[in-house]
C-alpha cells in the first residue's frame, strides 16, 4: 500500500479542519479530491504532502509515517505538481525538468549525463521535446503544466500529487493533461492523487473519489458511489443532474450537469 490514511483528521494546531477520512492508494490508482472552496482541501493536501502532521489518526507512506522519512527520502516517494505559477528568473523548460532529479543526488552533486538523458526522455515522452529551450514563463498554460508533470516524473516517485492540474487550461489542454494522467497510472504504474473542481474529470480518469462536504465530512469510495446527484448537491449547495454519454465503443461515460435556477 503506497498511501494509507487511517481515520486521519487534518488541521492546524490541534484543530481539525477536515476529516476523519480513511482511504488507501496503490499502484495505478487515480484518486480525485472534490469539494467546494474553503472546506480544507488544501489542508488535506498539505497533510498528505507531509507539510502538516495529522491532528488525529495516521497518514502512512509505504507503511510508515512521514516523520520516519527525511525530506529527501520522502521526495523519492512523493512528488508534487503544483498549480501553475511563474518564476522570477527565465529558466528554460529543460532547466525546470532537470530540477526533478534533486532528490536522487547527493548534497554537493550536480546532474550528470545520465540525468540529462532521463530529462530528454521525459520531455519527449510527454510530447514537449521541441520546447526544451523555451523559457518556462513564456510557455502556454498547457505547456507549463506538462513541464511540471515531466519534472514530477523525473523525480521518479511512486505517488504523484497534483493540485488542480486542469485549472486554468483550455478544453483541449485539459483533455491532454487527463490523458497524460491516465497514461502515467496505466503505463508507469504511478499512483496519482489530484484535486479538481470538475466532477466530469473524476468520471473520466479516476477509480476512486473523495468528496469533501462543508461540514468537515469526507465521502470516500468508488466514483459512482461518491458522485451522486444527492452528494454533489450537498457539497456544492446547488442542484445537479448526472447523465450518460457513450464513447465510440459504446461504453457509458457519466457526466454532471448543473441546473440553473
Partner 1 sequence: MKSNHTHELISKKRAADALKILILLVVLVVLFIMALGSGRTSVNFFDVVQILLSQFGLNTQPIDESAATVVNLVRLPRIVAAVLVGSALALAGAAYQGLFRNPMVSPDILGASAGAGFGAALALLLDGNVRVVQLASFVTGFIAVMITYVSARKISKGIGKILIFVLCGLIVGTLFQAMISAIKFTADPDSKLPEITYWLMGSIAKVTWNDILVFLVPFLIGSIPLLLLRWRLNSLAFGDVEAEALGVNVDRLRMINILCATLLTSAVVAIAGIIGWVGLIIPHIARFLFGPDNRIVLPASIVIGAAFLVLVDMCCRTFFASEIPLGILTSVVGAPFFFIILIKTQSEKL
123 binds partner 1 (CB under 8 A): yes
Q: Of 132 and 175, which CB lies nearer to partner 1 in the complex structure?
A: 132
Residue 162 pairs in a beta bridge with: 81, 194
The residue within the footprint of partner 1, chosen from 24, 58, 120, 198 (CB under 8 A), is 120
72 binds partner 1 (CB under 8 A): yes
Smallest CA-to-CA distance from 125 within 81, 191, 187, 206 is with 187
The residue within the footprint of partner 1, chosen from 129, 198, 254, 256 (CB under 8 A), is 129
How long, in residues, is the chain? 261
Binding window for partner 1 (CB under 8 A); candidates: 14-22, 68-76, 188-196, 245-253: 68-76
Contact 132, 138 (CB under 8 A): no
Classify burial at 108, counting beta carbons within 10 Å of its beta carbon; exposed 0-12, middle 13-18, buried 19 or more: exposed
51 binds partner 1 (CB under 8 A): yes
The residue within the footprint of partner 1, chosen from 92, 174, 176, 231 (CB under 8 A), is 92
The residue within the footprint of partner 1, chosen from 14, 107, 251, 261 (CB under 8 A), is 107
91 binds partner 1 (CB under 8 A): yes
110 binds partner 1 (CB under 8 A): yes
Q: Of 184 and 211, which CB lies nearer to partner 1 in the complex structure?
A: 184
DSSP β-ladder status, 15-25 and 3-12: antiparallel
Classify burial at 137, counting beta carbons within 10 Å of its beta carbon; exposed 0-12, middle 13-18, buried 19 or more: middle
Helix (H) or strand (E) holding 192: strand 191-195
Give the 3-state DSSP-derived string for 59-116, with helices as H, strands as E and coil as C: EEECCEEHHHCCHHHHHHHEEEECCCCCCCCCCEHHHHHHHHHHHHCCCCCCCCHHHH
15 binds partner 1 (CB under 8 A): no
94 binds partner 1 (CB under 8 A): yes
Would you tell me which residues interact with partner 1 (CB under 8 A)? 49, 51, 71-72, 74-76, 78-80, 82, 85, 87-92, 94-96, 99-100, 102-103, 107-108, 110-111, 116, 120-121, 123-124, 129-130, 132-133, 151, 155
Amino acid at each position: 500500500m503506497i498511501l494509507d490514511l487511517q481515520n486521519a483528521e487534518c488541521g492546524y494546531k490541534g484543530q481539525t479542519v477536515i476529516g476523519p477520512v480513511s482511504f488507501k492508494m496503490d499502484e495505478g490508482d487515480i484518486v480525485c479530491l472534490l469539494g467546494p472552496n474553503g472546506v480544507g482541501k488544501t489542508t488535506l493536501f498539505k497533510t498528505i504532502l507531509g507539510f502538516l502532521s495529522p491532528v488525529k489518526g495516521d497518514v502512512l507512506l509505504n507503511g510508515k509515517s512521514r516523520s520516519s522519512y527525511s525530506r529527501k527520502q520522502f521526495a523519492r516517494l512523493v512528488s508534487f505538481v503544483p498549480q501553475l505559477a511563474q518564476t522570477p528568473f527565465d529558466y528554460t523548460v529543460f532547466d525546470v525538468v532537470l530540477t526533478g532529479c534533486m532528490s536522487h543526488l547527493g548534497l554537493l552533486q550536480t546532474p550528470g549525463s545520465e540525468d540529462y538523458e532521463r530529462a530528454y526522455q521525459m520531455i519527449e515522452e510527454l510530447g514537449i521535446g521541441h520546447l526544451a529551450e523555451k523559457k518556462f514563463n513564456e510557455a502556454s498554460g498547457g505547456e507549463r503544466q506538462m513541464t511540471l508533470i515531466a519534472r514530477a516524473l523525473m523525480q521518479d516517485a511512486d505517488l504523484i500529487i497534483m493540485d488542480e492540474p486542469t485549472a486554468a487550461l483550455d478544453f483541449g489542454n485539459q483533455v491532454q493533461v487527463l490523458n497524460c494522467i491516465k497514461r502515467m497510472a496505466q503505463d508507469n504504474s504511478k499512483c496519482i492523487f489530484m484535486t479538481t473542481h470538475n466532477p466530469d474529470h473524476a468520471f473520466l480518469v479516476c477509480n476512486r473519489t473523495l468528496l469533501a462536504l462543508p461540514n468537515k465530512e469526507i465521502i470516500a469510495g468508488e466514483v459512482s458511489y461518491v458522485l451522486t446527484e444527492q452528494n454533489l448537491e450537498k457539497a456544492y449547495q446547488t442542484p445537479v443532474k448526472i447523465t450518460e454519454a457513450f464513447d465510440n465503443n459504446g461504453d457509458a461515460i457519466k457526466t454532471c450537469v448543473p441546473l440553473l435556477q
